[in-house]
Amino acid sequence: MLKYENSFWDNPGPGQQPRYERGPQCLYEKLEQGGAECDELLAFFRERMAIEEAYAASLRKLAERKLSAEGFGRDEGATLKTAFRGLLTECVVLAEAHADLALELQSSVIVPLRSFSSEHRARVRASWKLIDDTVRRASAELAQVDRNHRVYTQKASAAEQLRLKESPGSLQPAASPTEFE
């Protein structure tokens, strides 16, 4: 069963202290994944913006075409010529709409997302360094406590053995080191 304890730190077993490095690392990997996802979004919107710009340019070029001297250029203004000019005008309108969409993508999506992404990465790096340093320091202190406990237990056991040797008549042992834990 998933629990906080087995998801965010290693519990090596009875008598040993848990290690806490896994928790922050798991969380920061997800935060870094968010940065990578922002990069994917930025790439997508940049490509979409480029497509919109290219489409707008193609529509403008299409709308600039001259009427052929053999075709609509020769027509005196009949309904079909008016419809064709309407098509060319509509191409200009569509070109502007797609150019506006490209600008809107740049100003409303790409610039803010790029800013957020770089600020997010800086926050994650700074936070990770702070948390990582704290966890390392705590782990080192915990290891020192474990070493001190082992030394204390060894010395207390040696002192108890020495006391028993010096007073062989006393069968009652003093308080064991484990009673002080």
Distance CA 171, CA 68 (A): 121
Is the Cβ–Cβ distance between 60 and 102 less than 8 Å? no
- Residue 5 has what pLDDT? 61
Looking at residue 1, its amino acid is M
What is the arithmetic mean of pLDDT over 7-16?
64
- Residue 120 has what pLDDT? 93
- Residue 164 has what pLDDT? 86
pLDDT band at 174 (very low <50, low <70, confident <90, very high): low
Helix axes 79-104, 22-63, angle to 10 degrees: 160
Residue by residue, DSSP assigns 42-109 as HHHHHHHHHHHHHHHHHHHHHHTPPPPTTTTTT--S-HHHHHHHHHHHHHHHHHHHHHHHHHHIIIII
Helix axes 22-63, 111-166, angle to 10 degrees: 170
What is the arithmetic mean of pLDDT over 41-48?
97
Say if residue 109's pLDDT is above 90: yes
Is the Cβ–Cβ distance between 135 and 24 less than 8 Å? yes
Is the Cβ–Cβ distance between 53 and 102 less than 8 Å? yes
